[in-house]
Amino acid sequence: MGLNTSKLPNGPEMYVGEGYGLTQIEKVIGMARANSIWPLPFATSCCGIEFMATMASTYDLGRFGAERLSFSPRQADLLMVMGTIAKKMGPILKQVYTQMAEPKWVIAVGACASSGGIFDTYSVLQGIDKVIPVDVYVPGCPPPPEAILDGILKIQELIKNEPLRRRESAEYNDLLHSYQID
């Protein structure tokens, strides 16, 4: 007896039968998380305006499931850091990151968040990966909305393929430890 397979749109391959589908629970959870991200827009400067354009109707971020923005870190999944982070803002960014609950992802939008951008000065943090771990970097100054959406799609790929127990693994905890986040 052969098993039929079917693939959910935006979801995993499943062995299907009459009224049931068989797949790994990791993949279903990954699909659910990836298509319902609640982003926290940490918009500081010009990239924030491009984010507003991404949220608006022409480039609509809502089609990817990330319609509901959460400004409270306790209720957010994805920290989108958009814009220059100065040294004065670094501790606040770290505090917002630690307030988020696991699993959480970070996307650094723009050249300033990725590496300091054109501001190689005494007061600008040369990249947010000096204070928090980052998953996806979106280059550009500012990146056009299509690039930001590309970054969101890459985050969705990461989320879909993440092992369930990753957040409790020794490797991940070492990573957090290296940033003095415990």
Partner 1 sequence: MAEVNNQILGESISAQFGNQVLSVEETYGTLDIVVEKSIIIPLIKWLKTHDKFQVNFLTSLCGVHFPEQNDRELSVVYYLHSFINNIRFRIHVFLPASQPEIPTLTTLFAGANWMERETFEFYGIKFIGHPDLRIILNVEDMDYHPLLKQYPLVDATRTDKDDKYFGR
Partner 2 sequence: MINISDDNFEKHKALNGQEQSDQELKQYNYLNLGPTHPATHGIFQNILKMDGEVIVDAQPTIGYIHRAFEKLAENRPFYQITTITDRLNYCSSPINNIGWHLTVEKLLGVKTPKRLDYLRVIIMELARIADHIICNSVVAVDTGALTGFLYVFQWREKIYEIYEEICGARLTTNIGRIGGFERDFSEKVFAKINNLLTELPAALSEFEKLVMRNRIFMDRTVNVGGITGERALEYSFTGPNLRAAGVDYDVRVMTPYCSYEDFDFTIPVGSSGDTYDRFCVRQEEMWQSISIIKQALKNLPKGDFHADVPEFYLPPKEEVYNTMEGLIWHFKIVMGEINVPKGQVYQSVEGGNGELGFYLVSDGGRQPYRLHIRRPCFIYYQAYPEMIKGSMLSDAILTMSSMNVIAGELDA
Contact between 45 and partner 1 by CB under 8 A: the answer reads: no
Residue 153's binding partner among partner 2, partner 1, none (Cβ under 5 to 8 angstroms by kind) is: none
Residue count of the chain, please give it: 182
Please, are residues 108 and 136 in contact by the beta-carbon 8 Å criterion?
A: yes
What's the sign of the alpha-carbon dihedral 101, 28, 148, 67? negative
Please, are residues 156 and 35 in contact by the beta-carbon 8 Å criterion?
A: yes
Residue 16 CA: distances (Å) to CA of 7, 30, 123, 175: 9, 19, 57, 39
Contact between 50 and partner 2 by CB under 8 A: the answer reads: yes
Contact between 121 and partner 1 by CB under 8 A: the answer reads: yes
CB of 124 to partner 1, least distance (A): 8
Contact between 20 and partner 2 by CB under 8 A: the answer reads: no
CB of 25 to partner 2, least distance (A): 35
Residue 90 CA: distances (Å) to CA of 58, 94, 128, 139, 156: 33, 6, 8, 20, 26
Contact between 180 and partner 1 by CB under 8 A: the answer reads: no
Binding residues vs partner 2 (CB under 8 A): 42, 44-46, 49-50, 52-53, 56-58, 69, 71, 83-84, 86, 88-89, 91-92, 95-96, 118-119, 121-124, 141-142, 144
Binding residues vs partner 1 (CB under 8 A): 87-88, 120-123, 126-127
